[in-house]
């Protein structure tokens, strides 16, 4: 396969799997019958756990054993958390954290 065909296939896979995840519950469960309590419980607790996992996923290639020991990631992450606690505005936190990270990796470390 050429590179762009492979890319197109991967995009199709991402689109189809995403659609499958969004449609599956509608195919499995009917509106006139209650959702099994265990599924409802997972629906309540899993999203928070998954976001935590995704934070780790994004940072998986950060090396803490060699210079700069993950310092740009740590500083930028602290900035995102701090701003989010302070202003509760996700857009502001994300933008500021990203700009700070870019400045740190380009100019400081």
Residues that bind other proteins (CB under 8 A): 3, 6-7, 9-15, 17-19, 21-26, 29-31, 35, 38-43, 45-61, 72-73, 76-77, 80-81, 84-85, 88, 90-91, 93-95, 97-98, 101-106
Nearest approach in angstroms of CB 7 to other proteins is 5
User: Which DSSP state fits 72?
Assistant: H
- Write a three-state SS string for 19-64: HHHHHHHHHHCCCCCCCCHHHHHHHHHHHHHHHHHHHHHHCCCCCC
Sign of CA dihedral 63, 67, 72, 77: positive
Return d(Cα 42, Cα 46) in angstroms, integer.
5
Least distance (Å) between residue 69 CB and other proteins: 16
Look at the block and give the residue holding tokens 């976001």.
51
Compute the least distance from the CB of residue 72 to other proteins, in Å.
8
């Amino acid at each position: 396969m050429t590179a762009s065909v492979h890319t197109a296939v991967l995009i199709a896979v991402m689109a189809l799997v995403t659609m499958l995840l969004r449609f599956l519950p509608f195919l499995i469960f009917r509106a006139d019958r209650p959702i099994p309590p265990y599924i409802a419980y997972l629906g309540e607790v899993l999203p928070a756990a998954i976001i935590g996992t995704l934070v780790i996923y994004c940072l998986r290639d950060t090396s803490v054993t060699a210079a700069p020991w993950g310092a740009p990631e740590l500083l930028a992450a602290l900035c995102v958390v701090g701003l989010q606690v302070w202003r509760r505005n996700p857009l502001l936190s994300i933008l500021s954290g990203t700009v700070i990270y870019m400045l740190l990796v380009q100019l400081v470390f």
